[in-house]
Structure 1
Amino acid sequence: MEKKARKTPCKETFEQLVVESKTPATAVLLLNSPEEDILVKACEAIHTFAEKGDENKVSLLGFGALEPLCRLITHYNKLVRRNAFMALGIMATNGDVKNALQKLDAVPLIIEKLSPEEDTVVHEFATLCLASLSVDFICKAQIFDNKGLPPLIHLLSSPDPDVMKNSLEIIFNLVQVYECRLAVHKLGGIPPLLKLLKSDFPVIQQLTLKILQNVTTDRDTCNVFREEQGFDKLMDILNNVDFRDLHADALQVVANCLSDSESVQLIHNGGGLTRLMEIVLTPNMPEIQSNTVKCITRVAQSSESREVLHKQDVEKVLVELLSVADIKVKSSTCQAVAAMSLHRASKDSFRDLGAIPEVVQLLNSENLMLRSAATQALSSLTHSNQRNALLVYEEGGHEILVQQLYGSCLRTVANSAAALCNMAEQKTIRSSILSHGVIRALVEPLKSSDTQVLVNTTLCLSVLACDEEARAELQRAGGLQPLVNLLHSYHKELLHNVCLAVCVCASDEPIAVEMCKFGALEILQEISQSVNRRSSFTKLAMTSLLNSNLSVKYSLTGHLTSTDIITDGFYDAGKARPGQRVLTLEELFKQPVNGHRPVIVINTATDKKNEEDEPKDEMQSESLTEKPWNMMDDVSLQSLVKEAKESILPLKDEQEQYAALARLVSDAMGGAVEMEKLHEFSWMLHLSELKFQLQSNVVPIGLISKGIYCHRALLFKCLADCIGISCSLVRGEYNRAWNEVLFIWSAANNQRSSQPCRYIVDLMHQPGSLLAVDTPAAVRYQTIYPYQHCSV
């Protein structure tokens, strides 16, 4: 083994033995001899023969040497045991022999001979055997389960460098397994490992550092490492130019141990951060630079540590590294920029030092890793910083980021969406981002299975969809269904973002209708029943959908407020059952005529052919006549709207307006009906005849000449909304419905009241009467139950 400053210690020597056998087959046969001298000579002959190459090792395997050698390593004779281990150790370096040895279950026997009482040569070749075997996962488990780790840690203090090297190789293989990694510090492995950092043999130092890289990923191990002055020993290496070949590995260990502020402060007090700044700018050492930047990134994980680095002017160092040619250095630097940009002052420093144009340029790299790191840096730099976002926009970064959304790297897509979201908060930038097709680019990420991609994409969409054209583009691009599907998510942040996006998109009625068609309301209703999933976000999304789809709102909630303005296309499909999706008007039109209650539709629009005398804008005329279904013009309703505008709006008294409108509605739907004679009012037959005449379940409200509570209340709400007077619409049981109005007037003393009063408008029995809410008269109007069963 090559060393740095000293010779390898001599092993214990033995007298030369004469090999009497002339063929390896004979030597293998002699392994079964009862004579100890013969066993010693046979083992030595096999060792000598095996040393000459892999072909000889395979030959010995074929002659059956393995089983007797495994038996002889436990022989009571020390010399036999030693020579048997020498032969077995050399043979085990061959792959075929190693595979055969695994099947013999020799691991427990070998571990038994790692005790301090055994010969150093036995330790050397026993560990050589285990080093070969420990590459296999099953053998790793066997070594650990048979308590092989404690004696291996003890052998790290062996005077023989080969024993130390072999033991390190075995431990390195073992610590690839999580359970073994945790056990090293518990078994006292950190102190002897740290001592080996001063070994004269580079291979021992490198193996030690690689083991430390693995074990220091555990927080408890890091604490022990710090208590044992591990940082000081690593800094000794980093400060020694003769150990430059060890710097990259040493820096990875440092990076692992810098995840807590206590460690950062410890290394800072010892001048470690200053030294890192010096190392990171070492020219022509890309691996060392990359690992040093990783250390900086780990330091920057806490706000206290970022403040320390900021005072060290780390931003200046990182900006210099952005121009280094090596891809790994640039990638690591972008990640460090992202971490440091969580510090508000660092964001401004990076901008002032010219980092943003450099990072934007890296978005054009052909290297996926570098592009991902660059998008991560821009995401962090633009977060809550409008000046940085504007600079990225001026550098054309937004256009490249949109293209990154089509990439295959999930991290790049997630980071790009986050950066675009940050930039889109400014209207000018948002318009430009939209002009580059960002909405279509976001549709595919909405179908991703990666949570972070979905979280960032939906948040970005919620910001961009405040633009009307963006919402229309999302609908055209087929993005509504995947968005609605995400309402099924149990991830809290994702569900919140999806609800925000749904809420924004629902501001357009056609989009709200389509989302309802995809089952958005049913999913949100289900969520509302879950204690763990419901939130103010889910409630907001449902409210927005309902407010933009009043037909569905009325079916589900049975209530429209005075601010819910009925428009053309509104329909009353009746009360929806829990969990039932409210069909669209198009779907209802296509159903064959059935025996259910009719669907009442509102349509005040006038077809072009009915208004030839009134010139219209060509596009406006087309929009009026373009109907996806055969929804006939409601001439009677149009006449009622016209009459209401002419006869009711001129009335100056608010009470008179409500009374006059009530009489207009009553006259249109069969006039006043005494409560006792309501059963004689043949409204059901009339509606059945209309359905038969129209050959449709959908009936325009203006055609109804015999209507009761539910029909009159809907017509009253429609006309009131058309002429601009305020009222609500409430559905009751058994075809009851009524309108509530609110104004400052008291029916009790016929004068203005200090508080607004609520009244129900009588449209059936004494049209125009105002019934104060919760009075016996109002309760009788709202229910079919006898008065004495109702609360006053």
Structure 2
Amino acid sequence: MGKKVKKEIDTPRREPFEPLPFESKTPATVVLMLSSPEEDVLAKACYAIYKFAEKGEENKLSLLGLGALPPLCQHINHEDKRVRRNAIMAVGMMAANVDVKIALKKLDVIPSVIEKLLPEEETVVHEFATLCLSTLSVDFVCKVQIIENKGLPSLIRLLSGPDPDVTKNTLEIALNLVQDHPNRAALGELGGVPPLLALVRSEFPVIQQLALRILERLTLDRDARAAFREVQGFEKIMDFINDKDLSDLHVEALRVVSNCVADRESLLLVHQTGGLSRLIQLVVLSTAPALPEVQTSAATCIAVVARISENRKLLHEHDVETALVGLLSAEGDGVKTAACHAVATMGIHLVSKDTFRELEALHVVVELLSHSCEELRQAAVQALSSLTHDSQLNAAAVEEAAGVEVLVQMLSEGSSTLVSHAAATLANMADQEPLRCRILTQGAAAALVGPLQTATTTDSLLQVTRCLAALACEPHARKEFRKAGGLPPLVRLLSSRHKEVRSNACWAISVCANEEATSVELCKLGALESLQEINESPNRRNRFSEVAMFRLLASNLSVKYSVTGRLASTDITTDGFYDAGPVRVKDTLLDSDKGEHLLHNVKNEREDGALQPQSHCITDDYSSEFNEVFLVA
């Protein structure tokens, strides 16, 4: 036998495998292909997932359930250009789904997506990367991540790009970012204002609208407004508003102007460039297709401008009152409401008060008090409150226009806002005795009881007590108020935590206590004890607390004698006076000489004894002399 020879094994040829055409209609199989090491397979799988997700929300959820999202997020940073592109397309398409968005936040995908915004990437990559960020940037945490990963400079650069889809997505991201205050200043500092102003003139309306909305939010920030001024933003926006072909976007543009003219420096710039005149012209414009909305926005803008006293003078010089009065009779409740707000703000200016009266604006506003629209009624009564403050002629004009009855009805039927402004208007009118009597004939004293019991806002309580003090100068008003049960809720206000409410309550009690019957009833309700407690406290006592206390004592001599141990030479006892014995009171509570001096001042007032504060806002300046607060009504 011959020797066995080992058989050689043939080695296989090292030739490439022929390309295998592969098709699958099963999403799960395609998701498995995302784990392939072959770039061509990965690119095709990512694109197939993109097309599948494009067809609807159910497909996006299905892919999420199959686990497609984690490998897709990894492939965003793949070395192969095609894989990166198709992966970001798939992720961007899926991101619109709420559940996918939550999953993307957990995967911390934002840094990888921001890297896709670099200039060397394709336009389609920019489109889907910004699409992904536009959905994620709604969330506050995602906004912070975008800023921390230096995404804002890339986004600003993309605003000047040629592709409208990329621009739209980028604007949506920017709009989400500027909802937060710190991002507004950052956007202005990084040069975001010029491209935004350029996009206002875009050929695509949706891009124009988004750019204007961003500018509206942006100009809420003082520093951003400064950046806006530096690039002549005011002039460009006003030119935009002057273009009648773009009237459908004038509302958004006027909101930008409203923010811009909020400060004095910006307003002067607008005034110098003729913008203020053009703004007023918009109020009286009558040919624009979107007239009501434009006029509403223009009137709102004027109201914002008029918040500053110097601005009111400028507006008056431009005869803004005539324009606003015209809007009071315009079509649309929104226009009338905005006009009333503007009238209320301009009405603070003394010269404008007279101008509005001469233009018969008060008669028109009184008619609006009976309108069915609650918001319009609130704006109208606010305007009357402003116009009648410190203006007897305007107060008389309201009475001539039959406004008293409606105003008194508002005390019982209206909301807190209506009650507050109606009471303020009636208090302004009650400074004149004929008007005061006219108001009382409508049952105003009794009508004030309800708001005292149910008022939920501090301002309404302040104005109701102010109105009560103005009306209670008349004896029959005090009697009517007492019989209607108004004293208990008034006394309870002495325990209010709000110092101005306490001060006004003391003021009202000091007026109501001018007659014995009311004074005795107030003492029975504990008013004297409450006033003693207030006067003992250096933090709670006010300009009217001691006035109210001595008024109570002056009208109730038996109590006064028990508390002070003496009567003044001007005190005249009548039947019913009795000595109940001394009442111990702390020395800090009641100084006899000071009390006699105060009572002497009270006795020397007019018989009605009206007390009014020197200003609309009562303060706790206890160091002031008491006779400073006595003004004859």
Q: Same fold (TM over 0.5)?
A: yes
SS in 2 for 1:472: helix
CA shift for structure 1 position 19: 7.8
Counterpart of 2:277 (choices 256, 267, 274) is 274
Q: Say if 1:571 and 1:237 are closer, same or farther in 2 by CA, change over 3 A.
A: same
Q: Distance in 2 between matches of 1:577 and 1:153?
A: 77
Distance 1:53-1:524 versus aligned 2 partners, 3 A rule:
same
Q: Mean Cα displacement is larger for which, 97-106 or 542-551?
A: 97-106
The superposition leaves residues 164-204 of structure 1 with CA deviations (integer Å, 9 ceiling, x where unpaired) of 22121122123333444454335543333233323332222
CA distance in 1, matches of 2:117, 2:527: 67
> Structure 2 stretches of 5 or more lacking a match?
1-20, 587-591, 594-633
Aligned AA for 1:455?
A: L
1:173-184 alignment to 2 at 5 Å? 173-184=176-187
Matched, 1:446 2:452: yes
Question: In percent, how many aligned pairs have the same letter?
Answer: 57
Contact 1:368 1:409 in 2 (8 A): no
1:567 matches 2:570? no
Aligned equivalents of 2:489, 2:22: Cα separation in 1: 79
Q: How many residues align?
A: 567
Measured after TM superposition, the shift of residue 292 of structure 1 is: 0.7
Q: 1:489 touches 1:495 (CA, 8 Å); kept in 2?
A: yes
Task: State how far apart, in whole Å, the 2-side matches of 1:22 and 1:223 are.
Answer: 58
Letter in 1 for 2:516: E
Paired residues of 1:303 and 1:343 also in contact (CA < 8 A): yes
Task: Report the Cα distance in structure 2 between the residues aligned to 1:509 and 1:108, rounded to whole angstroms.
Answer: 80
CA contact (8 A) 1:19 1:42 kept: no
For residues 671-713 of structure 1, what are the alpha-carbon distances to aligned partners after superposition, in whole Å with 9 as ceiling and x for unaligned?
A: xxxxxxxxxxxxxxxxxxxxxxxxxxxxxxxxxxxxxxxxxxx
Q: Which residue of 1 aligns with 2:425?
A: 419
User: Residue 509 of structure 1 corresponds to which residue in structure 2?
Assistant: 516
Closer/same/farther in 2, CA of residues 128 and 343 from structure 1, 3 Å limit: same
Q: Give the CA deviation at 1:141.
A: 5.1
Q: Structure 1 CA distance, aligned partners of 2:541 and 2:148? A: 48
| Pick aligned residue for 1:79 from 77, 82, 85 | 82
SS of aligned partner of 1:536: coil
After superposition, the Cα gap between the structure-2 partners of 1:79 and 1:490, relative to the gap in structure 1 and judged at 3 Å, is same
Is 1:576 the equivalent of 2:583? yes
The answer for the alignment partner of 2:412 in structure 1 is 406
CA shift for structure 1 position 360: 0.9
Question: Which amino acid is 2:134 matched to?
Answer: A
Q: Does 1:542 align with 2:545?
A: no
CA 1:560–1:246 in structure 2 vs 1: closer, same or farther (change >3 Å)?
same
Give the 3 Å change call, closer, same or farther, for CA 516–85 of structure 1 in structure 2: farther
Cα deviation for residue 148 of structure 1 reads 4.5
Deviation at 1:372, TM superposition (A): 0.5
Q: Name the Cα RMSD after superposition.
A: 2.7
| Partner residue in 2 for 1:522 | 529
| Separation of aligned partners in 2, 1:512 and 1:215 | 58
CA distance in 1 between partners of 2:411 and 2:67 (Å)? 62
TM-score, normalization by structure 1: 0.67
C-alpha distance in 2 between matches for 1:366 and 1:50: 51
Contact 2:416 2:456 in 1 (8 A): no
Indicate whether 1:458 and 2:461 are aligned. Answer: no
- Please state if 1:428 is matched with 2:434: yes
Q: Is the 8 A contact 2:184 2:218 kept in 1?
A: yes
Q: Are 1:376 and 2:379 matched, yes or no? A: no
| Equivalence for 2:125 | 122
Residues in 1 aligned to 2:143 and 2:409: alpha-carbon distance in whole angstroms = 47
**8 Å contact kept, 1:555–1:572:** yes
**Aligned twin of 2:589:** none
Given that 1:455 and 1:494 are in contact with CA atoms closer than 8 Å, whether structure 2 keeps it comes out as: yes
The question of 1:476 aligning with 2:479 is answered no
Q: Secondary structure at the match of 2:412?
A: coil
Q: 1:303 to 1:110 in 2, by over 3 A?
A: same
Q: Distance in 2 between matches of 1:112 and 1:531?
A: 64
Q: Residues 58 and 389 from structure 1, CA distance in 2 versus in 1: closer, same or farther, beyond 3 angstroms?
A: same
Distance 1:217 1:578 in 2: 56
**Structure whose residues are more often helix by fraction:** 2
Partners in 2 of 1:220 and 1:522 — Cα distance? 54
For residue 128 of structure 1, what is the amino acid of its counterpart?
L
**Alpha-carbon deviations, 1:217-246, whole Å to 9, x = none?**
233332332233110110121121222121
Structure-1 separation of matches of 2:533 and 2:149? 54
State the alpha-carbon separation in 2 of the partners of residues 517 and 575 from structure 1: 18
In 2, Cα distance between equivalents of 1:130 and 1:407: 51
Stretch of structure 1 that moved more, 550-559 or 334-343: 550-559
1:258 & 1:351 partners in 2: Cα distance?
Answer: 27
Which residue of 2 is the match for residue 778 of structure 1?
none
SS in 1 for 2:355: helix
Say if 2:168 is the partner of 1:165: yes
- For 1:28, the equivalent position in structure 2 comes to 31
In structure 2, the CA distance between the partners of 1:33 and 1:375, relative to structure 1 (3 Å rule), is: same
1:365, distance to aligned residue in structure 2 (A): 0.7
Distance 2:369 2:556 in 1: 43
The letter of the residue matching 2:395 is A
In the TM superposition, what is the alpha-carbon distance from 1:32 to its structure 2 partner?
A: 1.9
CA contact (8 A) 1:134 1:140 kept: yes
What are the Cα deviations for residues 100-151 of structure 1, in whole angstroms up to 9, with x where unaligned? 4344443344345444554443332122112112334554455456554454
- The 3-state SS of whatever aligns with 1:406 is helix
Residue identity opposite 2:531 in structure 1: L
CA distance in 2, matches of 1:481, 1:150: 65
Q: Distance in 1 between matches of 2:332 and 2:350?
A: 28
State how far apart, in whole Å, the 2-side matches of 1:568 and 1:187 are: 85
Separation in 2 of the partners of 1:355 and 1:414? Answer: 21
Tell me if the contact between 2:235 and 2:275 (Cα under 8 Å) persists in the aligned partners: no
Give the Cα separation in 1 of the matches to 2:154 and 2:138.
Answer: 18
Q: Which residue of 1 aligns with 2:337?
A: 331
**Greater Rg by CA:** 1
Instruction: Please say if residues 156 and 168 of structure 1, whose CA atoms lie closer than 8 Å, have aligned partners that are also in contact.
Output: yes
Residue 497 of structure 1 is matched in structure 2 by 504
Q: CA deviation at 1:300?
A: 1.4
Distance 1:36 1:360, change over 3 A: same
